[in-house]
Amino acid sequence: MQVRVLPFGVLKDWLEPSAAVVELREGATVADLLDLLGASRPTEVLHSIAVSVNAEYATASHVLREGDEVGLLPPVSGGSEADQATPRDDQDGQAAIVTALTRSPIDAEELVAASKEGEDGAVVVFDGIVRNHTRGRQTLHLDYEAYEEMAHRQMAELATEARARFGVRQVTMVHRLGRLEVGETSVLIVVASAHRAQAFEACRWLIDTLKKTVPIWKKETFVDGAVWAAGEPFPADLAVTPREASHEE
């Protein structure tokens, strides 16, 4: 059987185009695929990655099927266009969740204003901005890419979970893709709630979780070169490596 392999971030430089379609035996698992890919390449590149199958996180023991789309996901560095924002209404018809990926500048003022309702006692905003340096190196610009189908789904799920977990009324999450200049907003999260404590907690949880689980990657271009940002490690239940995979079989 054949599966399609989609490498992202730094893994795009590691996996040549010829490996985009891989032939496997029937009943092969994610672990088998990683072992095959790592056989002729430095296996340390595969440490601490996550794997998706058809845009859903998958374990090493997941059995692959003909035509599956397998994403190789390095630790993320954080997720479709702004005009494809996905609103989800509450029982009163108000937009309880708005999530989007966009290649256009994010209008924070407009999104914050749209999030407010008369019942809200607090609106908490996280506005992530491109700074002019990282680890002592002067930044020229950043480039963001995403596994867009999966990122959009993950963002909507996070927003839904935040409303249920913290009891907030409304969540907006918008992330830029493409090239960003210094001073531009890369990610905006807005949480509206009757009470400030829940709004603060939900906003902090959303950005921290997004940066660990939503498949968005950042390439940093400095005055003296460019690198893919290392990103934060995946949670233990999502990380897959060839060695761990072999233990699961």
**Domain of residue 175, CATH code:** 3.90.1170.40
Predicted TM-score (pTM) of this structure? 0.80
The two structure tokens encoding residue 104: 């256009």
Residue type, 25: R
**Does residue 81 have a pLDDT over 80?**
no
User: Both 127 and 217 in a single domain?
Assistant: yes
User: Both 18 and 32 in a single domain?
Assistant: yes
User: Both 13 and 136 in a single domain?
Assistant: no
Of 180 and 36, the structure prediction assigns the larger pLDDT to: 180
User: Both 239 and 205 in a single domain?
Assistant: no
**Does residue 229 have a pLDDT over 50?**
yes
Task: Say if CB 46 and CB 33 are below 8 A apart.
Answer: no
**Does residue 79 have a pLDDT over 80?**
no
User: Both 61 and 106 in a single domain?
Assistant: no
Tell me the pLDDT band of 220, cut-offs 50, 70 and 90: very high
CATH, residue 61: 3.10.20.30
Please give the DSSP secondary-structure letter assigned to residue 119.
Answer: T
User: Both 58 and 114 in a single domain?
Assistant: no
Q: In angstroms, rounded to a whole number, what is the distance separating the alpha carbons of residues 205 and 98?
A: 17
From the number of C-beta atoms within 10 Å of its C-beta (0-12, 13-18, 19+), residue 204 rates as middle
In the chain, what is the straight-line distance between the N-terminal and C-terminal CA atoms, in Å?
20
Mean pLDDT of 39-48: 67
Give the model's pLDDT for residue 42: 59
User: Both 70 and 87 in a single domain?
Assistant: no
User: Both 205 and 170 in a single domain?
Assistant: yes
User: Both 99 and 204 in a single domain?
Assistant: yes
Range of 65's domain? 2-75+234-248
Into how many domains does the chain fold? 2
Buried b (16+ CB within 10 A) or exposed e, 159-169: beebbeebebb
Q: In angstroms, rounded to a whole number, what is the distance separating the alpha carbons of residues 102 and 177?
A: 6
**Does residue 95 have a pLDDT over 80?**
no
User: Both 218 and 244 in a single domain?
Assistant: no
Give the model's pLDDT for residue 176: 97
Tell me the pLDDT band of 17, cut-offs 50, 70 and 90: low
**Does residue 85 have a pLDDT over 80?**
no
Give the model's pLDDT for residue 245: 41
Phi then psi for residue 52, to 5 deg, are -115, 150
User: Both 44 and 164 in a single domain?
Assistant: no
User: Both 117 and 183 in a single domain?
Assistant: yes
Task: Say if CB 11 and CB 49 are below 8 A apart.
Answer: yes
Mean pLDDT of 101-124: 96
**Tokens 């867009």 — which residue?**
148
**Tokens 């002729």 — which residue?**
40
Element (H, E) at 140: strand 137-146
